[in-house]
């Protein structure tokens, strides 16, 4: 009987260890919202997998901290709401911090800021060269982006009409089909579209506020922000982010 009792205790302890390991493993999985396609930050490759600057950087940070990431593709606006509501742990999708967004989510330090200027994309044969050429036209922006906020701030000054879509790719098709006159996006995103569509041209918007850069969005009061900031700082210092920029923005 004593042997049986001892064996029972051993099995109980082993079960506890296995259960504990399972809980720890689950704790090390983070759900991350992204908003593909948004080249070069996040896209879906031909195999249906995520790739891009944000994806690779996120995976490297997670590896450094011992986390596994589960990526969830959402519309940009839905991603921010998911972070705010806690259905995901964070969002990496070329997100720019703003004072309004900071009321609802927390942000990491800036991890990229070089090619984030607000840029106009339009048809080359229109000959538009500056914001003054766009007066009275129809502008397109992705829902809930800082570019939408910027365009909304100049609507009256330039007599613009604004239409929003969930994806920039949809706006590009609207421009080509003549339904929208131009869109405003980040410079890096504009470069990718011009590489695909010969009929497009671009120039810097030149008015309103430019984004200060891109950062990771976390739920308010999260416990991840400080650890992620440490790794972002490390990757700035050791050249990891520079190498990723060369790979995804300059190829």
Quick one: pLDDT at residue 209?
A: 83
Residue 37 contacts residue 167 (beta carbons within 8 Å): yes
Residue 202 contacts residue 122 (beta carbons within 8 Å): yes
> Which domains, and CATH codes, for the chain?
28-114+212-249 (3.40.190.10), 118-204 (3.40.190.10)
Helix, strand, coil percentages, rounded to 5, for the chain: 45, 20, 35
- Token pair 């939408």 is found at 148
Quick one: pLDDT at residue 251?
A: 60
Contacts of 201 (CB under 8 A, 6+ apart): 121, 122, 123, 124, 126, 128, 194
Quick one: pLDDT at residue 187?
A: 93
pLDDT below 50 — which residues of the chain? 1-25
Q: Is 16 helix (H, G, I), strand (E, B) or coil?
A: helix
DSSP string over 139-175: EEEETT-HHHHHHHHTHHHHT-EEEEES-HHHHHHHH
Which neighbouring-strand residues pair with 58?
A: none
Name the pTM for this structure.
Answer: 0.80
Quick one: pLDDT at residue 210?
A: 85
List pLDDT tens digits, range 170-219.
999 999 999 999 999 999 999 999 999 999 999 999 998 888 899 999 99
């Amino acid at each position: 009987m004593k042997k049986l009792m001892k064996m029972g205790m051993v099995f109980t302890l082993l079960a506890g260890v296995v259960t504990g390991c399972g809980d720890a493993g689950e704790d090390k999985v983070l759900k991350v919202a992204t908003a593909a396609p948004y080249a070069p930050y996040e896209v879906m490759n031909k195999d249906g997998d995520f790739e891009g600057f944000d994806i690779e950087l996120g995976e490297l940070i997670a590896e450094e901290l011992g986390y596994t990431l589960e990526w969830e593709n959402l519309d940009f606006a839905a991603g921010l709401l998911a972070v705010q509501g806690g259905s995901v742990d964070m969002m990496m999708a070329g997100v720019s911090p703003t004072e309004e967004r900071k009321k609802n989510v927390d942000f990491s330090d800036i991890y990229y800021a070089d090619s984030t200027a607000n840029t106009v994309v339009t048809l080359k044969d229109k000959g538009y060269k500056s914001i003054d050429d766009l007066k009275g036209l129809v502008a397109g922006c992705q829902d809930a982006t800082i570019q939408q906020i910027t365009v909304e701030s100049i609507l009256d000054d330039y007599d613009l009409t604004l239409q929003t879509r969930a994806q920039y790719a949809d706006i590009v098709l609207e421009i080509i089909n003549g339904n929208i006159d131009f869109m405003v996006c980040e410079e890096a995103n504009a470069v990718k579209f011009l590489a695909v569509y010969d009929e497009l041209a671009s120039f810097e918007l030149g008015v309103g506020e430019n984004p200060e850069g891109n950062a990771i969005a976390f739920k308010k009061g999260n416990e991840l922000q400080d650890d992620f900031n440490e790794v972002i700082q490390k990757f700035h210092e050791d050249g990891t982010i520079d190498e990723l920029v060369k790979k995804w923005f300059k190829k």
